[in-house]
Amino acid sequence: MKKHSLFTQFLAASVAALAFAFSAPVSNAAFDPEHDEPGEAPVTMPKVDPLADAKKDEKKLADKVLTGAATRVAVLNFGLPKSAQGAADSTVGIEIVAQAWREAVKMLEKDKVEVVVVRINSGGGALSEMEPLQNLFQNEYKAKFRTVAWVESAISCAAMSPWPIADMYFLPGGNIGACTAWRGVGGQMVQADADTLESVLVQMERTSRWANRDPKIMRAMQIMEPLSANIDENGNVKFFQDLSGKIILNQQGKILTLTANEALKVGFSKGTAATLDELMQVMGITEYVVAGKQATDFIDNNIKANDKANKDFDNFYRAYTIAIDRAEQLRGDKKRQSDAIGDARSALRKMNATRRHNKNMPEIKGFPAAWFAQQERLLKDLER
């Protein structure tokens, strides 16, 4: 029974890994160190300061209005809306994956989409998927379309992944923030280690600059640092990593989450809209058509397919643990043990097959390729 005891311990460790790591390391390449450190003089941020490319896009759209041409707008769900609650989970790295968003680009181009609205409703997920999504939004979506975010709820990795998008709008009651990093240890969620946290802080400094956004905002969302702001007579907003500003956004010892009203007050949000019609009005688009249906459906269906694969994986894992325990207990009964080993091998293969929906999912859940190889060796040992 010694083998059985060791295996049971190993399975227990794997179960703990199911509370998957939100602390996968991220790259700090291309970080620009020229920025304000806490305590230095704050950077002055204009209340409305879109990027040059966004200004060009807005001019093109204005020209289209003058000629009577309708703007082609696509809405892609970064997590299903709350109105679809229960249809699927919306975890970054599990249901929301960069590969699907990459494939959607060609569909959007084919349908001549001009504006992409990234509608966000997600509670976060795996940091290992954050950088691929950031790069995708920065280098492909912003380069090809006028890309805006429309925030229902963006927590943790779901706030950091679309952070390169400069223009953010909110639904009434929307929120963004609480970008802390956690990992699973012994079945409990604990805060990420110092090295991992530092790498994420560096990553988000860089990404803030992609969006022409003061890095102090994201920093207060990641660690317990205060944030306040002043607005001058010209509407310019200045942020402070302390409580010296007249507008207190985050107290010392708390993690920042911005509400729709707070975000609008300090110019983080460009407007609040409850419907797509209202959003277009706030964006200054007077005539539009909903386009990109193929891409919209593709993203939604991918979320649902990944959700099913995730739940199937958990079911297969439970079946595997039951079968492998039965095989251990049936030592000496070759026929019945062989049947149990067959059941275990079948469940293991089904677990591995879920990769066709999301190749990274098993590893994110704590089951890397090495784990599958180890289980195959264990099954072979039981057959001897």
Per-residue pLDDT of the chain (384 residues; tens, 9 = 90+): 334 433 444 444 443 333 333 433 333 333 333 334 333 344 444 444 444 555 555 555 555 544 558 999 999 999 999 999 789 999 999 999 999 999 999 999 999 999 999 999 999 998 889 999 999 999 999 999 999 999 999 999 999 999 999 999 999 999 999 998 655 443 344 566 777 888 999 999 999 999 999 999 999 999 999 999 999 999 999 999 999 999 999 999 999 999 999 999 999 999 999 999 999 999 999 999 999 999 999 999 999 999 999 999 999 999 999 999 999 999 888 899 999 999 999 999 999 999 888 888 888 888 888 999 999 999 999 988
Are the beta carbons of 130 and 160 closer than 8 angstroms? Answer: yes
Same domain, 262 and 373: no
Same domain, 209 and 327: no
Give the total number of structural domains in the chain. 2
Same domain, 170 and 214: yes
The pair of structure tokens assigned to 196 is: 């991992």
Same domain, 7 and 49: no
Whether residue 372 lies inside any domain: the answer is yes
Q: How far is Cα 169 from Cα 271, in angstroms, rounded to an integer?
A: 5
Whether residue 35 lies inside any domain: the answer is no
**pTM given for the model:** 0.80
Whether residue 127 lies inside any domain: the answer is yes
- Of 265, 291, 317, the last residue of a domain is 291
Same domain, 278 and 332: no
C-alpha torsion 87→317→321→190, nearest 10: -80
Whether residue 28 lies inside any domain: the answer is no
Same domain, 134 and 233: yes
Whether residue 29 lies inside any domain: the answer is no
Same domain, 283 and 319: no
Whether residue 299 lies inside any domain: the answer is no
- Of 291, 314, 330, the last residue of a domain is 291
Same domain, 7 and 66: no
Q: What is the pLDDT at residue 366?
A: 85
Same domain, 268 and 149: yes
Same domain, 9 and 73: no
Same domain, 287 and 318: no
Q: How far is Cα 257 from Cα 224, in angstroms, rounded to an integer?
A: 11
Whether residue 9 lies inside any domain: the answer is yes
Whether residue 36 lies inside any domain: the answer is no
The CATH number assigned to the domain holding 74 equals: 3.90.226.10
Are the beta carbons of 170 and 118 closer than 8 angstroms? Answer: no
In terms of Cα–Cα distance, which of 118, 72, 47, 52 is closest to 285? 72
Same domain, 150 and 181: yes
Domain span at residue 345 reads 2-18+305-383
Q: What is the pLDDT at residue 90?
A: 94
- Of 291, 325, 352, the last residue of a domain is 291
